[in-house]
């Protein structure tokens, strides 16, 4: 073999080796490496080892991901959040996504929670903040006072709905955004309607919470709201059974199951007893839906002052203008409960 042939051989080997190395590098960076679609949740203060363990179930090969991550300095720029991983992503796209912090939002929702403990638990299932930090933040006395609430009505600040949040939202960020949402909800139209009823925003929420608990029928809520507003206007006690149930639960424990309000219950010593106390109770008995709030702001106009659960139409009520007619409805209902074996 002459010198020229040796040079050609060496050059060819260099090209082959270079090609192999280039192909290997290309595969590490651009070859598909994710095996499934899903969401990757990276907690706050995670390090690269944490991310590596969390992302491993999505990867065909872990080492190429680590190599690309180091080349792009990802271990020094980890961002928490909820990230959507697509099947077939290459390491370059994957690391770019995680480095960018471009996370997927959470559709956070909640319904008619009646205590902050339950509320904190519900929210902690949907964002990173745990229930303990949420409960502490939601019940912070300074915040409650500065926001214009008190310990009894502060739960009325949270309007049940579906909201967009980032998964790594802190307890404080959640609470502050919900205050902003509360102010957005109380637009000029709703505030004007409340004034026309001679009610404050807090009073509307309190009454709406009673309407909420009184009937599950959305279409019936304006009727129920109108009845209670008639009683308030004429300075009658509301005599709302849901407030009695709330008072009993505050006394015996929130897990107490009550299917029937007894005559003796109507004497319970509580500011929430609307049989012995005129006007509204000191706070909401649950978070009312928007439908219940708007039912109070847009009540049905009628002359009913009494209502009793219907035994013919489940979930609805029989309305009456006189006590005599109401007593007839009540006797039928109490008799029906007894036949069903509902004693408490």
User: pLDDT, tens digit, for every residue of 65-114?
Assistant: 999 999 999 999 999 999 999 999 999 999 999 999 999 999 999 999 99
Burial grade of 69 (CB within 10 A; 0-12, 13-18, 19 or more)? buried
Other beta carbons less than 10 A from residue 241's beta carbon: 20
Domains and CATH numbers, the chain: 19-100 (3.30.1490.480), 111-185 (no CATH), 189-339 (no CATH)
pLDDT for the residue 344? 56
Secondary element (H or E) of residue 162: strand 162-166
pLDDT for the residue 27? 57
pLDDT for the residue 149? 97
- Listing DSSP states for 90-136 in one string gives BHHHHHHHHHHT-PPEEEEE-----SHHHHHHHHHTTSSS-HHHHHH
Beta bridge partners of 307: 319
Q: Which two tokens stand for residue 196?
A: 């026309």
Q: How many residues does the chain have?
A: 344
Residue 257 CA to residue 95 CA, distance in Å, equals: 52
Beta bridge partners of 90: 32
User: pLDDT below 70 — which residues of the chain?
Assistant: 1-28, 30, 341-344
> CA-CA distances (angstroms) from residue 55 to 31, 81, 91?
17, 13, 12
Radius of gyration over every alpha carbon of the chain, rounded to an integer in angstroms: 31
pLDDT for the residue 160? 97
| Angle at 44 (CA atoms; ends 103, 104), nearest 5 degrees | 15
């Amino acid at each position: 073999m002459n010198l020229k042939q040796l040079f050609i051989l060496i050059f060819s080997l260099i090209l082959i080796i270079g090609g192999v190395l280039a192909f290997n590098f290309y595969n590490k960076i651009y070859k598909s490496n994710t095996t499934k679609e899903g969401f990757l949740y990276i907690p706050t203060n995670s390090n690269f080892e944490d991310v590596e363990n969390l992302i491993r179930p999505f990867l065909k090969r872990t080492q190429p991901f680590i190599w690309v991550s180091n080349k792009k300095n990802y271990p020094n720029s980890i961002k928490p959040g909820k990230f959507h991983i697509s099947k077939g992503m290459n390491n370059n796209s994957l690391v770019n996504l995680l480095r960018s912090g471009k996370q997927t939002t959470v559709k956070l929702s909640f319904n008619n929670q009646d205590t902050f403990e339950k509320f904190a638990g519900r929210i902690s299932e949907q964002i990173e903040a745990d229930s303990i930090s949420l409960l502490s933040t939601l019940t912070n006395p300074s915040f409650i006072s500065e926001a214009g609430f008190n310990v009894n009505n502060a739960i009325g600040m949270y309007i049940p709905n579906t909201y967009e949040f980032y998964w790594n939202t802190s307890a404080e960020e959640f609470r502050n955004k919900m205050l902003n949402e509360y102010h957005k909800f109380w637009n000029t139209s709703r505030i004007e309607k409340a004034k026309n009823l001679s009610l404050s925003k807090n009073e509307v929420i309190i009454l709406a919470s009673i309407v909420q608990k009184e009937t599950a029928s959305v279409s019936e809520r304006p009727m129920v709201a109108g009845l209670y507003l008639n009683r308030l206007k004429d300075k009658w006690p509301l005599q709302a059974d849901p407030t009695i149930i709330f008072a009993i639960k505050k006394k015996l424990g929130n897990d107490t199951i009550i299917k029937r309000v007894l005559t003796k219950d109507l004497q319970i010593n509580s500011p929430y007893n609307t049989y012995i106390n005129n006007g509204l109770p000191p706070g909401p008995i649950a978070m009312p839906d928007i439908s219940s709030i708007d039912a109070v702001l847009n009540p049905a106009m009628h002359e009913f002052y009494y209502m009793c659960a219907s035994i013919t139409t489940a979930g609805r009520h029989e309305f009456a203008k006189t006590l005599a007619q109401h007593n007839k409805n009540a006797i039928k209902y109490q008799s029906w409960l007894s036949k069903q074996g509902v004693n408490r």
